[in-house]
Structures are given as structure tokens and as C-alpha cells.
Amino acid sequence: MTSKHLLACLFCVCSCAKQEVFITPSAVQLDSEGEQWARQTLAAMTPEEKVGQLLMVRANVAFYNVKDPAWAELNQAVRKYHVGSMLLSVPNDTGTSARSLPFEAAFVTNQLQHESKVPLLFAADFERGLSMRFAGTTSFPHTMAFAAAGKLDYVRDFARVVARESRAIGVHLNFFPIADVSSNPANPIINIRSFSENPERVSEFVAAYVKEAQKAGLLTTAKHFPGHGNEDSDSHLGVARILSDAAHIEAVELVPFRGAIAAGVGAIMMAHVTVPALEPAADRVATTSHLITSDLLRERLGFNGLVVTDALQMNAIADLYPDGRAGVEALKAGNDVLLLPRDLQVTANAVMQAAETGELSWPQIDAAVMRVLLSKASVGLHRSKTVDISQLPQLLSQPADAVLSQQIADDAVTLIRDSQTVLPLTVGKVVVSTGHFDAPAAPDNDLLVVLLVDNVQDEPGRIFAREVHERRPGARMIFVDPNLVSGMTPEILAAADMARAIVVAAVITPTAGKVVKVEGNLTNAVSLDDASAALLNKLLAGTGDKVVLISLGNPYLAMDFPNIGTYLCTFSHAPPSQRSAVKALFAEIDVGGHLPVTIPKIAPYGSGLFRAKR
């Protein structure tokens, strides 16, 4: 093809693109035009199309050949099953999510919108921003870091960034904010995903995020109703149980949800947990409980928006209700959207059969479909449904976003204990480049850094290590995971004897479905595994006066090590939080964060020592 022909083709593509009307995000708002569109759309639907509107399936972002079976499956979900919404995500074939590119995300949403007769509502889990799924976007700390930093303006700024970037790639609904209160230190799935243990403080942050995100055009979801904070098991692995009494639920768990509803939250996600104080039936999780979903959430709390199930493929509910019954029971309870059914065909057939037999009434289905359609209209999908990919370089990863994220992470760093025998660390001799190859740094036996991670081959902790090396090029750096720690313990203890300062950085964060050995039992936990805990105890017993323990995640970690002398928390392992931790070690920033939770045996809520930068 000659350059002349190439230019002609490009001109043709651009001309065609100009004819398409792209969606222009504005504040979430339902007008009369949108309401009329929803009524007319519902009236024209077949029974199968109505059922499809209640289904949300996963759409992984990747490059797809048009004959790729995975692409054919997505097309079938749209054309055959008429799904109303999709959860935008990334492949997870190896147990680790492989981040895709935002250009691919926008392309996938646009293509699927073209395939769908009724505009699709795209949702995403952007709890820490788009960087959770997509490379090249701004990385933000975990939720609890915002409360540690203590500024509501930070969460408002964050909401605006996420809204701008989400709508740019075609996402309309974010499964955030998390309204769960961190009231149980043993909770393996909430932890730093919660703002705080203080329900009023959680409510403030939740409401601030909801208002600002929806003002910027992004529907928000408060999760997980009626509160997932006070339990100690993982609902991805089995049924979790909330043992709080009714008074505690009213005074603690429900407070942030009331705040979210008052702020106009667009959706609420149900929790796959049993709550005996609210639902006496032992086989009813909140998702399938009419008492909790309809009587409490709809009637008592007055929520009229979209009710979304948590993922129906999770063991907590899938094992209770085989053959698509989970979806039927969830709709009977009062849910509107069935998120990630384990089998799309089986679930769609089960719902149709329930409607045909009268177990589910068509007026009830119509009401749920109407709420889905009204949600779509509130974000402008009745006017246009595709995004302008050419605008992504202007809308994503703006330099100011990275500055904001780093400032939040810096302000969140919290010093819980300080023996005043180790910190601050001193900067060593910097290696200056003299040519193409630099001589390796001389060994620096004074500083030992041990990073406790889930897997030494994964990314978490790498930025922390690099930042330390920039300041102390010869520092001894050792990564260990549960599979390696026992064999490496003698080497680490020998290095500790020579060191003047020992930094132990633990990357322990809530991970769905994770299994570790704690006290001899396999469980999902946000504490150290047995072998890593044994190593840390040996370090504290022999060299405790020169150990700094840093939690790049779970602040409750120190509960198991009450004799720790110096303890620092970042509440996140996100890249900016790793940088902040190192800056705090070397006194390059003021350290002034405050604990959003109580750490039993260590420190009360609100604790935090102030240390000025050098």
C-alpha cells in the first residue's frame, strides 16, 4: 500500500468516526427524557430481553481476534442472552491479574456497545482507581490510607479522578465506596479496604466520595450491605457469619449506608453473609434474604436505587443454591442485578422458568428492569453509548493525579511506636555513573532489609526495595515468601547480627480466596504465615532494639508482636505508599498520620506520633 493510499484510508476512518456521536459525561441525573426512554424501552422488550437486563457478566479486556472463542462468548452474552450490564475486568489465568491497557478497554466497551441492542451498563471494581486493572493509569493507596491522612478533600479529589478516567474508557458504575466498618481485626477480606472502625467517620468519607463521583458522572456503589466488617472468614471460600446483635448493626454497620443513601448513592451491593440478628433462616445469606434486602434496605432505609448482588460465582452463595437458584432467590429477595452468575445459561433459564411458573412475578421483574434502565439513562446512555478513544491521552494519567496520589500516601504514613534507637535512617554514599557500566555498590552490612511477601516473583515490594537502594546502594535486601522463609531464616539471622538497623517490611493485604497456614491451619488471613511470624519473633528476640517493622498493608499486623519497638504503617502496598514508607524511614517527609482503627495490645484509635522531616 502506498503512502497515498494509506492517507486515504486514514481519512476514511476519521470521517466515519466523526459521524458517530460519542457520549459526553455530565452529572448523574435522571430527566424526563431519560424516564420516557426507559418506559418505552421496557414496553418493547420480550420476556427473554427483560431477564437479560438483570444479568451482569464479566468482560475481560484484551486483544481479541474476531474468531476468538472468548470474543464469541461475549457476543453470545449480548446477542443471545441480552445481558444488560458487564463487569469490565482483566484476565486472571494464572491467579494474578494481568493489567491491560486503557486503549484496549475503551475499544472493548465500544465494540460491545455496538453489538448490543440496548445500551450496556459497564461496571468495574476501581477501589484504588483504574490502576487496579489497567497499566499506565494513576495508582492510588487503599481506602484506609485516606482516613489515616484525615482529609475529606482527598477522597473528593480521588472521586473526580476516578470518574473522569472511568467514563473515558466507557465505564459508568464503580463498585465503590466500601461502606463496611472495620470492626474486627481478624477480618481477612475487608481490613484496609475499609476507611475506619469509626462508623461516623466511614459515613463522612463514603458520602463525600458518592457526591463528588456522581457529580462528575460516575454512578457509585456502597458495599457490602448490611455490613461485612465484623466477621473473620472469607465469603469467597465459604459462608461468612456476622455475629453482631441488632443494636450493634444499627449503631455501627448501618450508619455508613444511611450516609450513602442520603448522599444519593446510585447502587448498593449485597453481602453473601448470614446475619442471624436480621435473618433467622440459617440458609439465607443477606443477598437472598427478603427481610434484609427488601424490608430493611428498601422499606426501612428508603433506598430506591439499583441493588446488585455480590458475585454469584462465590462459594458462599453458589454452593448453597445449585442450578441457577441463587439468581432466582436473589431476585425474589429484591435484588435487581445478578452479578457474575456461575453459569449464564443455567441462571437465565432458571429465572425464566421461575417467571413462567409464577414463582417470580412479571411486575417484580419489570420493576427491576426499570431500575436498570433508569440507571442507564441517568448516565446518558439513552443519548449515546460509545466513547471517543482519541480523547484518552487528554483524560487519563494527568500529571496532577500522580502528585495527588503521592501526597495522600505521604500524609497517611503513621508512626505507632518509636524506640528512638533506629530512625531516621541515614543516606549512604550515592553511586555516580561513570560510563556504560557501574561497579556494584560496596556491601553495606549496617542496613538489612527483609521484605515479607506472598510470592517473591510478584511485584509488591519491588518499588520499596528500589527506593531504599537509591538511598543506600549497598544495603542487604532479602525477599522471602512462605515457601522460602524457613530455609532462609539462618542466613537472615546471621545478617541481622551484623546490621545496625533492620527494616522488616510486610506486604500483607486482603486478598480474595488466599490460603495461608496460620497456627497450623489453612485459612485466609491478614496475618503473617507461621514461618514468617517465627522469623520475625526471632529477630525481635535477638535484635529487637534495632528492628523497624513496616506494615505495607494490614495495620493490625503488630497485634501478634506486642514487643515491637518501632512500628510504621502505610495502610497500602500501592506504589506511592511504598515510596512514602521509604521517605518516612529517611525523614524526607513529615510523618503525621493517625490510626483509623484500634490495634489491640498496641495502640488506640487515633494514635500517631509526629516526626518532622529533616
Q: Which residues are catalytic?
A: 236, 310
The three-class DSSP label of residue 395 is helix
Cα 560 to chain centroid distance, Å, stands at 26
The answer to whether 90 and 102 are in contact (CB under 8 A) is no
Per-residue burial over 75-111, b if 16 or more Cβ lie within 10 Å, else e, is bebbeebbbbbbbbbbeeeeeeeebbbbbbbbbbbbb
Q: Which is nearest to 122 in space by CA: 387, 483, 478?
A: 387
Distance CA 134, CA 508 (A): 22
Question: How is the beta sheet containing 173-174 ordered, strand by strand?
Answer: 306-308, 267-270, 219-225, 173-174, 121-124, 85-89, 55-60, 338-339
Q: What's the Rg (C-alpha) of the chain?
A: 25
Residues 6+ apart with CB under 8 A from 121: 56, 84, 85, 86, 172, 173, 372, 375, 376, 379, 381
Query: Given CA atoms 137, 138, 141, 145 in this order, what sign does their dihedral have?
Result: negative
To which residue does cell 476507611 refer? 195
Pick from 573, 609, 583, 578: nearest CA to 594: 609
Tell me the pairing of strands 219-225 and 267-270: parallel
Let me know: does 518 contact 568? Beta carbons within 8 Å: no
* 424 preceded by a cis bond (ω within 30 of 0): yes
Half-sphere exposure of 440 (CA within 13 A, CB side): 6
Alpha helices in 235-385 (DSSP H): 246-248, 254-262, 290, 315-318, 325-333, 344-357, 362-378
DSSP class of residue 437? S
